[in-house]
Amino acid sequence: MRKNLGSLPGVFPMPVLMVATYDENEKVDVMNVAWGNICGMDKIALNLAPERKTLKNIRLKNAFTVSLADEAHVKEADFLGTASGNVMSDKFERTGLHAVRSSRVDAPIIEEFPVTLECEVAEIRESFGEIKVIGIIVNVSADEKVLDENGKVSAGKLNAIMFDQFQNSYYTVGKKIADAWRVGAEFMKK
Amino acid sequence: MRKNLGSLPGVFPMPVLMVATYDENEKVDVMNVAWGNICGMDKIALNLAPERKTLKNIRLKNAFTVSLADEAHVKEADFLGTASGNVMSDKFERTGLHAVRSSRVDAPIIEEFPVTLECEVAEIRESFGEIKVIGIIVNVSADEKVLDENGKVSAGKLNAIMFDQFQNSYYTVGKKIADAWRVGAEFMKK
């Protein structure tokens, strides 16, 4: 039996994207974005409310980084999604996380997060009340500890978290169950 | 030690979105989209290659549905992401899945998937080689079995799968670890 729940932002899972920028004083700001994803082989789209400090910084520097939040830093990730850099000047410092400058783009890399996309701005536009930022992924850097023997990121080692907007909660990743482009092959032969 | 991996579509997790449409003969087509997410409280964005059958159908009907793929149907979901409705006329029928017409939009609901977003087209535009479809979420319908005692979708009951583009594989969801907007509260008090 199906129930109608009305209009809801009902996509699951959503990633927990930590978007890091510098302001005009080279001060680090980080926010938590669930409404983003890849939108091309070398592109990422983020949907941000117009008033975000992050958006001001992105316009200023034409650059940002996006890190994947992991289970060890769920508290920090959550805080960075609730506090505002517009009103809390020491927002990033409170977390105790550490930042280094990206060598590729004018934005900080948060050292504690294991995978980081270093991005230049490709486009910023208004879209139905949100500001859509599209970034060119110039480089992905990852901690060795999350790489497999072939040097690729292993989702099993990443311990990434995901956001559940149905109930406003965070989940861990389970187990790998199948190879894509293979597990459905039986239907090809029918 | 951080390693540079070059430019990669390195977001994890990505959802496994089953996008269902009718063609001009009311024939059901379903494809698997990983590059999509919510982009507003009542909006969803999908990034599609220009040649997709799904895109032709969306332009024709101004409607589509998006279902969340679950673990029980990982084979079907994978097949629907590898086969093309442009060249395989019985693509949907091969899966053995069942469709019913949405009462809200001119698009089919796949009965086996537990959560479905019923969408009208808000905008279709080219963006850096991909076609970005933005839909208005008119209604979300969900199987009773994935709802909690308050009538909300429970991610723990959903058994949704997610896509790992680093290694082209599917993962299950783990466990709930925290309430969002709460778990990071300790940093607010500092």
Task: Report d(CA A111, CA A97) in Å as an integer.
Answer: 7
A113–chain B Cβ distance below 8 A for any pair: no
Q: Which residues of A touch B184 (CB under 8 A)?
A: 74-82
Cα A125 off chain centre by? 19
pLDDT digits (tens, 9 = 90+) for B70-112: 999 999 999 999 998 888 999 999 999 999 999 999 999 999 9
Could you tell me how many CB contacts below 8 A there are between chain A and chain B? 360
* Tens digits of pLDDT across chain A (190 residues): 899 999 999 999 999 999 999 999 999 999 999 999 999 999 999 999 999 999 999 999 999 999 999 999 999 999 999 998 888 999 999 999 999 999 999 999 999 999 999 999 999 999 999 999 999 999 999 999 999 999 999 999 999 999 999 999 999 999 999 999 999 999 998 7
State the residue for tokens 């009311």: B26
pTM given for the model: 0.97
Q: Is A128 on the interface with B (CB under 8 A)?
A: yes
Check: complex ipTM more than 0.90: yes
Joined together, the tokens standing for residue A73 give 């830093």
* B140 with A5: Cβ contact below 8 A: yes
B171, B172, B177, B186: best mutation site toward chain A, by most A Cβ within 10 Å?
Answer: B171
Cα dihedral sign for B169, B172, B177, B178?
positive
Contact B184/A at CB under 8 A? yes
Give the gap in angstroms from C-alpha B102 to the nearest C-alpha of chain A: 11
The helix or strand, by DSSP H or E, that contains position B55, with its residue range, turns out to be: helix B53-61
Q: Which two three-digit tokens encode residue B73?
A: 């149907």
- E strands, A8-129, are 14-15, 17-22, 28-33, 36-40, 43-48, 63-68, 99-101, 108-110, 115-127
Dihedral pair phi/psi, residue B94, rounded to 5°: -60, -30
